[in-house]
Amino acid sequence: MLTSTVDFGNLTIDIQQTANEVVYKFVGEVDEHFRQKDVPRVKKANITFVLEDIATFNSCGIREWIYLVRDISELGALKFTKCSVAMIDQINMVPDSLGKGTVDSFFAPYYCNCGGEVNRLINVGDCLPLLLRKNAPEFKCEECGHKLEFDALEESYFLFAEAALPEAS
């Protein structure tokens, strides 16, 4: 397995390659320090972006992100996995954030009176009909056992669903 890291200060990208896949793991902030031209383009059948640790985007960062995603979308089947809440917010505001990629899994914000805010990982394949209707999957609080409340507007949060989900096309 080949591995490398690109460091932009506020953002690091760990890249791991196997015979059929390249995985880019993003950690930090996509901001004015991010230079998409410095990110290696690796042609593989499967390309995965792991995005659980993306904290924020700014306008300079999103412009660079869109260029990167456009390029990489041409090199193989691009899949976004473990998208952070910040990433989903960005996809909803700027649909070009996905290029030709699809969302495999993502975090969604929930709330419980006993412990406050918590993000839950949602696997698209498990919840596709709900997501297309813009309904949040139900989860129970791990602390108290009560049903968690979805902590965003479902109509807005799941806007990305029709365009971004592989089975929705």
Q: What is the pLDDT of residues 42-97, one digit of tens each?
A: 999 999 999 999 999 999 999 999 999 999 999 999 999 999 999 999 999 998 99
Task: Return the domain boundaries, the chain.
Answer: 2-168
Answer yes or no: is pLDDT of 167 > 90: no
Residues 6+ apart with CB under 8 A from 16: 1, 2, 3, 22, 23, 25
92-147 pLDDT tens trace = 999 899 999 999 999 999 999 887 899 999 999 899 889 989 999 999 998 899 99
136 Cβ contact partners less than 8 Å away, ≥ 6 residues apart: 108, 110, 130, 150, 154, 157, 158
pLDDT tens per residue across span 10-31:
999 999 999 999 999 999 999 9
Whole-model pTM: value is: 0.92
2-168 belongs to CATH 3.40.50.1820: no
Residue 1 has pLDDT above 80, yes or no: no
Which is it for strands 21-30 and 11-17: parallel, antiparallel or unpaired? antiparallel
Is residue 168 pLDDT above 80, yes or no? no
